[in-house]
Chain A
Amino acid sequence: MLAWTIYLSFAGTLVLALLPKGRPALARWLALAVAVAGLGLAVQGFVAGMGQGRITIVDLPWVPSMGVHFLLAADGISRVLVLLTGLAAVAGVLFSWNIELRTNEFFAFFLALIGGVYGVFLSFDLFLLFVFYEVAIVPKYFLIAIWGSTRREYAAMKLALYSFVGSAMVLIGLLAAYATAGSHSTGLVELAHAGLPVSFQMWCFPLVFTGFAILAGMWPFHTWAPTGHVAAPTAASMLLAGVVMKLGAYGCLRVGIALFPYGLDPWGFSFAGLGSWRDVFAVLAVVGIVYGALVALVQTDFKFVIGYSSVSHMGFVLLGLMTLNQIGVTGAVLQMFSHGIIAGLLFAIVGRIVYDRTHTRQFAELETMHLSKRLPFAAWAFVIAGMASMGLPGFSGFVAELQVLVGAWKVNPWWVAAAAVGIVVGVAYTWRALQKAFFSDALPAAHILEQEQAHKFAAITWPEVTGVVLLGGVSLAVGLYPRILLETIEPAVKALLAGGGQ
């Protein structure tokens, strides 16, 4: 059934592309229907898969001469991330309800992106995974370039080229692995069992891992992320931070770590305290955590704060992956889910609820607007989302980051010490943003007060309320009862770390 998430999304793209223009309402409802159906399928697949290992959904020979299969399957990790994609898709449509420009095309590209993301999470053939991974690039470009804001063409091109360079690195690794394995199959399981030579894994792992990690926002290849997030229309920011960055992290785990486990072994010598690729990437992850947080602390644009916070939070995912132990990797997967929900919520508040009414994202201007009084819904939604983002207990981020840190402690306590700095700064930038944007005491000039009286903000609409409740509720639910996801994630991580079993 899960395969229908993919087919449905692409069918939706096709229908929306062919839909007569000038019927924006129809396009909206159609997109919502497709997104909700996808979420329904994802939930159904999640529930049906509880307590089970990997389930093969479709397995057809696709390119027989090369051993490529159209192989869709789902293990615990896939099911959780498909669920995330479903949620992000529904929320994305809800927060795009006010798109009037080329509505059909907007939702067509939106659903194409969603379809590609579903496809990546469900592919168990390396080749198929790569195809879906690239399918997701083009819609991103057009979503940002056409419907974006600040320096959109620059940001869109930068994002597309970064993604494409990353995927080129992956493709090189893929070709090399295929040629080296000589097994005439591109199935992930077959390749993992092909016995790739250790020396080969040593150089192929960093190539493929970096290729995927570019999309996961790994420092220093993160620079596409803040500019891309800021320029993108709200729904695209939500998807970029919510699921697209997870594509990268998922690729790191599913392809990088699972196919080239020996690539993480010690080199046998150490250079500047680094003795393996694992150390290198863990340090880059920690730098990303701290750097992203520090840069977020000094931004003057509300959306850039969220953009850099994404870099910081994705650092936790990469750090968790590099622990290579059960608890750390489980935490990383949970953090992917958690950050997907929370970042989506934050971008929705900043980009849709606030910006579409105030038409500014500059703190200097927001400070004078009394938003806590004039947009109390936005203010309280941001308080909740901010708490979740800081990693307060009771929200999903807390459980995830705690697990990552516990896992990292077992490997190298210094990583934890450095990441803790990131967490403290995380509290600071969230607090600063909250205070400056919503609860500032700055008194506006008299004429602005008059304007405020005369010009009321548009009322909060039902799609916005629904979206906030959906995302906030999920983060809270997972925070209060994390076992609901952990029970699905843990066995899958265990199988994956055990080597090749997947």
Chain B
Amino acid sequence: MNYADLFRATLPETALEVAALLVLVVDLGLLRKAALKVRVAVAALLGVAGCGAAAWFLLQQGTEGLSYQSSGELLLTTGGFTAAAQVGILVLTALTLLLLIDADFTHHVGEFVAVVLMAATGGLLIAAAQDLLVIFVGLELLSLGLYILTAFAKRSGKSAEAALKYYLFGGMSAAFLLFGFSYLYGLTGSTNLHQILLMVYGWNASQTAPLLYVAIVLVAAGLGFKVAAVPFHLWAPDTYEGAPAPAAAFIASVSKVASFALLIAISTAALHVFDDGPAMPVSPGFLVSWSLILTVLSTASMVLGNLAALAQTSVRRLLAYSAIAHAGYILLGLAFFSYSSRSAAAVLYYILTYGLTTVGAFGVVAVVERATGSDRLESFLGLHKRNPLLAAVLLVLFLSLAGIPPLVGFWAKFNLFAAVLGVSAGPVPFALVALAVAFSAVSLYYYLQVLKRAYVMPAVDESPMKAHPVTLAVLLGIAAAVVVLGCFPALLEGWIANFVK
């Protein structure tokens, strides 16, 4: 590895960083006197352009990745599933920025956009990371960005409270993760994922150190926090509720995609360690415990997320608990992971479409919130009269989250569960899939609670609710994508499959 290789492999990340700096220069330098609207528009568009450039660089990359020349140990992967996840991160970041155009919660627009771009860089890094240190650096870059974004509405006490909670939980879970990493390093003498796995697989049952299991639990705790899996979910409802809407959308989509991309990378690595080397006896200790802990997290998240969502009166909190439930479904796909690319593709399909739907949902919530001053269920009363298009978007997105065909959420679920059963149709995975399907039936109830307000119950206030044309266009675009991708599921599937080759 020399600096030229490093530069080449991290061109997309570099593009985002350059865009972030450019936004700061333009916003703080050139546009100091300009109106807020202009500044927001310029900053957001610059950010979107940065995402576009980064995506362009991404698609140019080969699959060789970035390795140490001396040992050949891989540091970052490029191409393949990583690239698909990274493109997803960039698209979702761009959509978040476009939805920002209408926002007025802060005057520090340049800083906000710059932090979004830097956090997205962290997301790109962890999606590609193959080394514990890179994983940690990427996670921190992402997380620190998110704490700042959560606190950005300086006039709102809720925002500060949410950020503090998020920060404290996040700091603790980062400590757990690092602690786990230190054990892994201590046990194996390497920070490279591949090397660690080779070493761990080589131990027979009596050699396997109990510390390994401690390390696995600690790592799972750290990553479980990022994806808001029960019991590491406590930050999610408060953060979703308190953060400014674009920040919440970013946390709910981009950060999730990146974290799950990391989990996909770990699960894939765990199964493909021996692909290039000589076959050797494998001790199942690691795989079994990793799968077991994911199963436990998944079950707890599905049950608790769905049940808690039933009782929510704030739509943001409802979305938070639904996010926990969705994380539960995805973790199930990761717990029963296939050697072939089937599971990876299914999980990626799920998380990308879920991210898209959530960004849209937060977009709608943001518009309603601006008009009514609250995200309570009552704020959605009569939405179909106040803004029929917005109500239609809400209908499509929420039904997709509930998994009603022919919307994309249904295909994502079906694909994922079919992949789980494809790995093993034994009683345990089957019972868990049955549980997941049963809880999706439960979830319809709380999604309908919102739609009922929007369509059925009488409106208190029937004055039209205005949405910025750009916001509306973006939301309509997202809803259209949810419908089209749902009617032609092979489109996105083919796109993902293209990256595998």
Contact = CB atoms under 8 A, between A and B. Distances in A.
Nearest to A170: B437
B25 interface: no
A63 B349 CA distance: 14
Contacts of A153: 452, 456-457
Given A63-B490, A63-B493, A153-B457, 18 more contacts: A17-B392, A66-B415, A66-B418, A135-B404, A138-B399, A145-B456, A153-B456, A157-B445, A157-B448, A160-B444, A164-B441, A165-B441, A168-B438, A175-B417, A175-B418, A176-B421, A176-B430, A179-B422
Given A63-B493, A153-B452, A168 B437 contact: yes
Nearest to B439: A168
A156 B422 CA distance: 36
Contact of A168 (B414, B441, B445, B448): B441
Contact of A141 (B421, B438, B440, B448): B448
A204 to B, nearest CB: 11
Interface string B473-501: 00000000000000001100100010000
A149 interface: no
23 contacts: A65-B493, A65-B497, A66-B418, A134-B404, A134-B410, A135-B404, A135-B406, A137-B404, A138-B404, A141-B448, A142-B456, A146-B456, A153-B452, A157-B445, A160-B444, A160-B448, A161-B445, A164-B444, A165-B438, A168-B437, A168-B438, A172-B438, A180-B425
B218 interface: no
B433 A175 contact: yes
Interface string B235-256: 0000000000000000000000
A439 interface: no
A135 B434 contact: no
A277 interface: no
A164 B392 CA distance: 21
Contacts of A179: 418, 421-422, 425
Of A138, A145, A161, A164, most B-chain CB atoms within 10 Å: A164
Interface in A311-340: none
A130 interface: yes
B493 A161 contact: no
Interface of A: 17, 61-66, 105, 130-131, 134-135, 137-138, 141-142, 145-146, 153, 156-157, 160-161, 164-165, 167-168, 171-172, 175-176, 178-180
Interface in B369-412: 384, 392, 399, 404-406, 410-411
Contacts of B497: 65
B455 interface: yes
Contact of A161 (B434, B444, B452): B444
Given A66-B418, A179-B421, A179-B425, A131 B405 contact: yes
A175 B421 contact: yes
A471 B489 CA distance: 40
B490 A62 contact: yes
Contacts of B452: 145, 153, 157
Interface in B162-207: none
A130 B410 CA distance: 11
A175 B497 CA distance: 22
Nearest to B342: A65
Interface string B438-478: 10110011001000100111000000000000000000000
A335 to B, nearest CB: 29
B490 A171 contact: no
A61 B457 CA distance: 41
B234 to A, nearest CB: 29
A131 B406 contact: yes
Query: Which of A61, A66, A157, A180 is packed against the most chain B CB atoms within 10 Å?
Result: A66
A106 B241 CA distance: 35
A62 B487 CA distance: 9
Contacts of A168: 437-438, 440-441
User: Which 3 A-B residue pairings sit nearest by Cβ, starting from the closest?
Assistant: A179-B421, A131-B405, A168-B441
A465 to B, nearest CB: 32
Nearest to A65: B493
A146 B490 contact: no
Most A C-beta atoms less than 10 A away, residue of B411, B415, B437, B493: B437
A372 to B, nearest CB: 38
Nearest to B395: A138
A179 B430 CA distance: 10
Contacts of B455: 142, 145-146
Contacts of B430: 176
A143 to B, nearest CB: 11
Interface in B81-137: none
A145 B417 CA distance: 32
A65 B445 contact: no
A254 B405 CA distance: 20
A146 B455 CA distance: 8
A145 B457 CA distance: 9
A69 B489 CA distance: 12
A157 B437 CA distance: 19
Interface string B418-433: 1001100100001001
Nearest to A131: B405
Given A62-B490, A179-B425, A134 B405 contact: yes
Nearest to A162: B441
Contact of A130 (B405, B445, B457): B405
Contacts of A161: 441, 444-445
B405 A135 contact: yes
Contacts of A135: 404-406
B210 to A, nearest CB: 36
Given A65-B490, A146-B455, A161-B444, A171 B405 contact: no
Contacts of A61: 490
Contacts of A131: 405-406, 410
Contact of B434 (A62, A167, A172, A178): A172
Contact of A63 (B384, B433, B434, B489): B489
Nearest to A168: B441
Nearest to B399: A138
Contacts of B444: 160-161, 164
Contacts of A65: 490, 493, 497
A134 B402 CA distance: 12
Nearest to A141: B448
A65 B404 CA distance: 21
Nearest to B438: A168
Contacts of B406: 131, 135
A146 B448 CA distance: 13
Nearest to A148: B456
Contacts of A167: 441
A178 B418 contact: yes
B453 to A, nearest CB: 11
Contacts of A137: 404
B311 to A, nearest CB: 16
A180 B418 CA distance: 11
A138 B448 CA distance: 10
A153 B470 CA distance: 35
Nearest to B406: A131
A156 B456 CA distance: 11
A215 to B, nearest CB: 13
A276 B421 CA distance: 28
B404 A172 contact: no
